[in-house]
Amino acid sequence: MASFTPTVPTPHPTTSRGRRDDLPPVVGGGDGGRPDSGEPDYGARLRRARLGLAIALTPIVMLFVAFTSAYIVRQGLPTFDPNTNTVVHDWTPVPLPTVLFLINTCVLLLSSVTIEFARRQLARQVALEPVQSIPGVSLGTESRFPWLGLTIILGLGFLAGQWLAWRELAARGFYVATGPSSSFVYLLTGGHAVHLLGGIIALLAAGAAVVLHRPLASRRIIVDVTAWYWHFMALLWIYILALLEFAR
Amino acid sequence: MVAQESHQHGAPQGFIRKWVFSLDHKVIGLQYYFLALTAVFVGMFLSLLMRIHLIWPTAMLPLLGEIKPETYLSLVTMHGTIMVFFVLTTAPQGGFGNYFLPIQIGAPDMAFPVLNMLSFWTTFLAYIVMLSAFFVVGGAPLHGWTGYAPLSALQSSGPGEGLGADLWITSIALFCIASLMGALNFITTTLDMRAKGMTMWRMPLTCWSWFITAILGLLAFGVLLSAGILLLMDRNIGTSFFLPLGTINGQMTGHKGGSPLLWQHLFWFFGHPEVYIAILPGMGVASQVLSTFSRKPIFGYKAMVYAMLSIGLLGFMVWGHHMFMSGMSPYSAFAFSIMTMAIGVPSAIKTFNWLGTLHKARIRFQSPMLFAIGFVSLFVSGGLSGPFLAQPALDIPLHDTAFVPGHFHLIMGVAAIFGIFAATYYWFPKMFGRMMDEKLARIHFFLTLIGTYSVFMPMHYLGLAGQPRRYSQLTELKYLHPLIGLNTFMTYAAIVTVAAQLIFLFNLFWSMFKGAKASDNPWEATTLEWTTATPPPHDNFGGRTPVVHNGPYEYSVPGAPRDYVMQTDPATVAAH
């Protein structure tokens, strides 16, 4: 391999982006705080998991943006009817089971509150963990209320309520394939339900972590990330409900 | 080893944990690479069948018999799908990105190793489902890799549109989920796992290209997934998202009120960013290799990054240029046309900077460099026909002719493949600890370069002469008779090009076991992967964490003891 000798020796090496000693020496890496060896600490893991969640929410947003644009475009789109050789507007607004939807909304919002309590409860437990091991230190009455379990029950309650809403829609004669409008109602609510089910599975995994005696910190990270996901699901549901209600 | 115990997950011992369900990003990268390697040979085989059919439509092929028109369409579909998804999306990003992104930024692994493993195995499942479409009743689907409705939305629209099409859509949906998991991992890793001193502006351009590609994938694959779900619902539970009222083969379909255009919008909103997902990693590799073998810093590092970012951004605003023929308001067509031609600007910046890097350089013409130069050549000659097709007035006559396959094969197919080859020859020593045979590599390069140009350049001419694309039997058409000679030449060129790939295959596997031993830094390159052992240990840097002091392309540094300065060389080394 050919070797290369600089033709003009200069006293200080200059790189393409200025003199090297002008550059900030070693700061600014993304993981600058990472210890030189070993597992990343709890704070770094939590930060990484939250970042991952924020990124994971992006395609979910894109999925519902795509559904929404399809919904809006389809709504205003006249279609050709070969029977009459005319262009017709065939969009029939679906009578939503509004009362049931509002009850479900309340259940979901309530679960969003309970999961927030669960998140903060675990955060406190993690913060107090080192103190607890000191003999003679009493922490007073730390709440042991099963917020997590309550959230799972409320989440399942919401899904059951959605199921009832679909039953009611079907009873009114609006099935998945009845018309474009009813297809979209099922698609949007069903898509949301599938995503919420994912959140429930994550909470069950956090519950399993208790049973399996996994470290408290790991459990806290799962619950923290799921809580943010859950809040997002609540927001998403309100958005979907508003879309279906106001853009029929 | 202490180093390995301190890693997030210890070095696995058993064969299954080490090579099959591995959490190690390097093994997963190789798994992706070899998946793409099998896929590219399947895809090439299908294209050979198509080329043979185009000039000898009634030939009786051994084992396959005569290729019927519907078989030809399923070849078109499966060739396109396998090449786009399982080769061009998989090898540069899943393969090399997985292997080298963590090493180049100084991380011990990806941010979420389990997710990484899941991502590969979901891709693998998608690949198996895709291939199984060949072997079901009716065979593989006919609707092309774009899957236009209503052809793709009805079970009865043709042979292959039954179970075969369902498998095709399922495979695409699985691939979307896998790609989303991969993109999530790439972005988190890039943002959160860089070593001390590795600022964003000190990342190699390869890392930038994988990062930007991951962002594109994150935004695009969700939309394709939504389109796939709607299509599956139309096919299997009777909804009418994409199906207007109508009859197929004389029978009422029972659907009404859907819009076939909706599919095209959703598909191309994914489909156009997808072509950048295929080509951006190639741009990154070309930049890296051109700089290394020119022994010069890359010309305009920041301009390269901004150009990639603007290509990515513009890529989301131009999907309509695939639909000029589908019925579109001239005002929208005009907007899409302007946006599309605007992509020429960042592309030209990149080309200019590559040429600027080569200008007055002491070039080392080794095999990675040859392929990187080939990449630039193909990028230019394939890209130049882009502004033609970006104009509705020209696109309308050219759209369904061979001109379009000529254009996108050069720029998206072959250029991206050259990027993969450049990456293979460049990183092979690091991955396997041995050098690839240089003589065979050169033969492979020249045969492939001349071969691919001979296949795809004439396609532009065929298109201008009016040869339609996707048609199975063209030899009967009188006005195309003068073109049969050229078509025959292209088929022979394709056979030679495919044969040349066997040289590559032999070189790859022979060198893996018998090649000359490689040193840790055979190309005298500066980025972090060349500071570690060859092949890299389980945690990439053997227990230490690299500290970065320099930019990625410090070649021919005046006053430095060698003609290059590694990213990890501390500033004190050369200070007097």
Tens digit of pLDDT for each residue in B47-102?
999 999 999 998 888 888 889 999 999 999 999 999 999 999 999 999 999 999 99
Residue B248 pLDDT level (bands cut at 50, 70, 90): low
Q: Tens digit of pLDDT for each residue in B545-571?
A: 899 999 999 999 888 888 899 999 886
pLDDT greater than 60 at residue A22: no
Per-residue model confidence (pLDDT) at position A142: 63
Q: Of A15, A58, A191, which is closest to B565 when you measure between CB atoms?
A: A15
Question: What is the domain extent for residue B365?
Answer: 2-246+253-435+517-573
pLDDT for A1 beyond 80? no
Min Cα distance A18 → chain B (Å) is 11
| B110: helix, strand or coil | coil
* Tokens representing residue B329 in the block: 């308001």
Which among B195, B220, B563 is the nearest to A31, CB-wise?
B195
Contact B514, B507 (CB under 8 A): no
Task: Tell me what pLDDT residue A15 has.
Answer: 56
Longest dimension (CA), chain B: 87
Cβ neighbors of B95 (< 8 A, separation 6 or more) are: B29, B30, B32, B33, B36, B420
B564: β partners: B555
Q: Which CATH class is domain A107-130+144-248?
A: mainly alpha
Strands B247-248, A86-88: pairing is: unpaired
The secondary structure of A195-217, three-state, reads HHHHHHHHHHHHHHHHHCCCCHH
- Mean pLDDT value of segment A29-57: 73
Cβ-defined contact of B576 to A12 (cutoff 8 Å): yes
pLDDT over 50 (residue B573): no
Q: Quick one: pLDDT at residue B9?
A: 57
pLDDT at residue B5 tops 60: no
Probe site for chain B from A26, A27, A176 (most B CB atoms < 10 A): A26
Adjacent-strand bridge partners of B434? B517
Provide ipTM, 2 decimals. 0.87
DSSP, residue by residue, B374-400: HHHHHHHHHHTTHHHHTSHHHHHHHTT
CA distance A59 to A65: 9
The answer as to whether B68 is a domain residue is: yes
| Mean pLDDT, chain A, whole residue set | 82
* CB-count exposure of residue A77 (10 Å: 0-12, 13-18, 19+): middle
Could you state, in order of their start, the residue ranges of all structural domains in chain A? 107-130+144-248
Which is more confidently placed, A40 or A242?
A242
Residue B559, pLDDT score: 84
Q: How confident is the model at residue B269 (pLDDT cuts 50, 70, 90)?
A: very high
Residue of B nearest to A73 (CA): B262
pLDDT reported for residue A25 = 43
Contacts of A83 in chain B (CB under 8 A): 245
CATH of the domain at B303: 1.20.210.10
| Banded model confidence at residue B238, pLDDT cuts 50, 70, 90 | confident
Asked whether the beta carbons of residue A16 and residue B233 sit closer than 8 angstroms, the reply is no
Contacts of B545 in chain A (CB under 8 A): 34, 36-37
Query: Mean pLDDT across the stretch A210-228?
Result: 87
- Please give the Cα distance from A71 to A76 (Å, whole number): 9
Q: Is the pLDDT of residue B7 over 60?
A: no
Inspect the interface and report whether the beta carbons of B554 and A179 lie closer than 8 Å: no
**Cα–Cα dist A119/A131, whole Å:** 20
Q: Which of B218, B559, B565 sits opposite A59 (nearest CB)?
A: B218
Residue B88 per-residue DSSP state: I
SS (H, E, C) B297-343: CCCCHHHHHHHHHHHHHHHCCCHHHHCHHHCCCHHHHHHHHHHHHHC
Predicted pLDDT of residue A75: 86
What is the SS3 assignment for B294? helix
Q: How many domains does chain B have?
A: 1
- Tell me what pLDDT residue B142 has: 93
Mean pLDDT, residues B424-438 taken together? 96
Convert the pLDDT of each residue in B289-334 to its tens digit: 999 999 999 999 999 999 999 999 999 999 999 999 988 889 999 9
pLDDT of residue A14: 54
**Cα distances (Å, whole numbers) of residue A238 to A231, A245, B429:** 11, 10, 55
Residues in A closer than 8 angstroms to B196, CB to CB, are 26-27, 29, 31-32, 34
Measured between its terminal Cα atoms, the distance across chain A in Å is: 71
Considering only CA atoms, which of B428, B420, B423, B436 is closest in space to residue B510?
B436
Dump pLDDT digits (tens) for B37-50: 999 999 999 999 99
In a domain? residue B496: no
Contacts of B264 in chain A (CB under 8 A): none
Helices B163-192 and B69-81: angle between axes, nearest 10 degrees? 10
On whether residue B490 sits in a domain, the answer given is no
Q: What's the pLDDT score for residue B400?
A: 93
Closest residue in A to B558 (Cα) is A13
Q: Is residue B501 part of a domain?
A: no
- The nearest CA of chain B is from the CA of A66 a distance in Å of 6
Of B192, B221, B230, which is closest to A30 when you measure between CB atoms?
B192
Is pLDDT above 60 for A16?
no
Distance from CA of A106 to the nearest CA of B (A): 28
Q: Which of A10, A15, A74 has the most B C-beta neighbours within 10 Å, making it the best mutation to test the interface with B?
A: A15
Interface test with B, best of A183, A188, A222 (most B CBs within 10 A): A183
Distance of alpha carbon B486 from alpha carbon B293, whole angstroms: 37
Task: Kindly report the length of chain A.
Answer: 248
Residue B564: phi, psi to the nearest 5? Answer: -140, 155
| Assigned token pair, B536 | 């890299």
pLDDT value at residue B412: 92
pLDDT for B260: 87
B500 pLDDT above the threshold of 90: yes
Chain A residues in contact with B548 by the CB 8 A cut-off are: 26, 29
Please answer whether residues B175 and B227 qualify as being in contact, where contact means their C-beta atoms are separated by less than 8 angstroms: no
Contact residues on chain A for B221, CB-CB shorter than 8 A: 59
CA distance, residue B221 to nearest chain A CA (Å): 7
Picking from A55-59, A138-142, B152-156, B526-530, which range would have the lowest pLDDT averaged per residue?
A: A138-142
In a domain, B460, yes or no: no
Q: Chains A and B: how many Cβ contacts under 8 Å?
A: 208
